[in-house]
Amino acid sequence: MSTSTSEHTTTEQATERGTRRRGIVRAVLAGGLVLGVGAAVTLAAWNDSEFATGTFGAGSFNLEGQETPGGAFSDHETAPGAALTFEVEPLNLAPADVVYAPFAVRLDAATTTDAVVTLSSVGAGANAANLTYEILTTDAFGCDADTTGGELVAAGTATTAADAATFDLTQGAAAAAGDPVNLCLIVTAGDGLVEGGAATVTWEFAAESVSDND
């Protein structure tokens, strides 16, 4: 009888110890979960950003010409363009006659880049093939038999010459027009000039901007 009681007591003690151990394990597990959550919170990071914005705009570009002494510069963007004033009557030519006309080009005050100008010409009419020309660059505006200057286009150039010459133009400073390039156009009638025949010659001064970023 006493043996049964002792065994019962031993069983209860064992059960109680098992219960305590399970409680300790649960407490440890619960503590581990709490520690795990705490570790996750410490992984948060600071965040910051920087932004940069570029603002862009286009410049301006315009070529203008002058055809008379003391005259204003203006645009002549399409053919036939400016009417040249020749010093000798150009409508009553005979073989070997020479006529002269001044012209000037520059970049206007709004232009924001330099330019390279390419010169070409187109002749039309019965006597176009019987005319040749020469162009000089001069210090002042004007052109006649006494004019001297640098040779831009050689004498004897055909009126149908493409890309006959190039020259530079510089933009003006502080919203001013650029310095002009003064030209003297000299046209010579050939020996084969047809009586009563007409001709027109159109010179094109094609300006191309020169980028400041090149």
Tens of pLDDT along 32-58?
444 444 445 556 788 888 888 888 888
Residues in contact with 180: Cβ distance below 8 Å, sequence separation at least 6, in sequence order: 66, 73, 104, 105, 106, 141
What is the reported pLDDT for 41? 53
CA separation for the pair 95, 7 (Å, rounded):
150
Residue 212's CB: how many other CB atoms inside 10 A?
10
Per-domain residue ranges of the chain: 1-48, 63-210
CA separation for the pair 42, 30 (Å, rounded):
19
Of the candidates 75, 78, 132, which has an alpha carbon nearest to the alpha carbon of residue 105?
75
pLDDT band at 1 (very low <50, low <70, confident <90, very high): very low
Burial 3-35 (b: 16+ CB within 10 A, else e): eeeeeeeeeeeeeeeeeeeeeeeeeeeeeeeee
Of the candidates 62, 134, 53, which has an alpha carbon nearest to the alpha carbon of residue 101?
134
Residue 24 pLDDT greater than 90, yes or no: no
What is the reported pLDDT for 59? 83
Residue 190: C-alpha distances to residues 25, 89, 94, 157, 202 (Å)? 120, 16, 8, 12, 18
pLDDT band at 100 (very low <50, low <70, confident <90, very high): very high
For the segment 164-193, the average pLDDT, to the nearest whole number, is 94
What is the reported pLDDT for 211? 82
Q: Which CATH class is domain 63-210?
A: mainly beta
126 and 199 in contact (C-beta within 8 Å)? yes
Residue 75 pLDDT greater than 80, yes or no: yes
Residues in contact with 120: Cβ distance below 8 Å, sequence separation at least 6, in sequence order: 161, 162, 163, 164, 203, 204, 206
Residue 207 pLDDT greater than 70, yes or no: yes
Widest CA span in the chain: 160
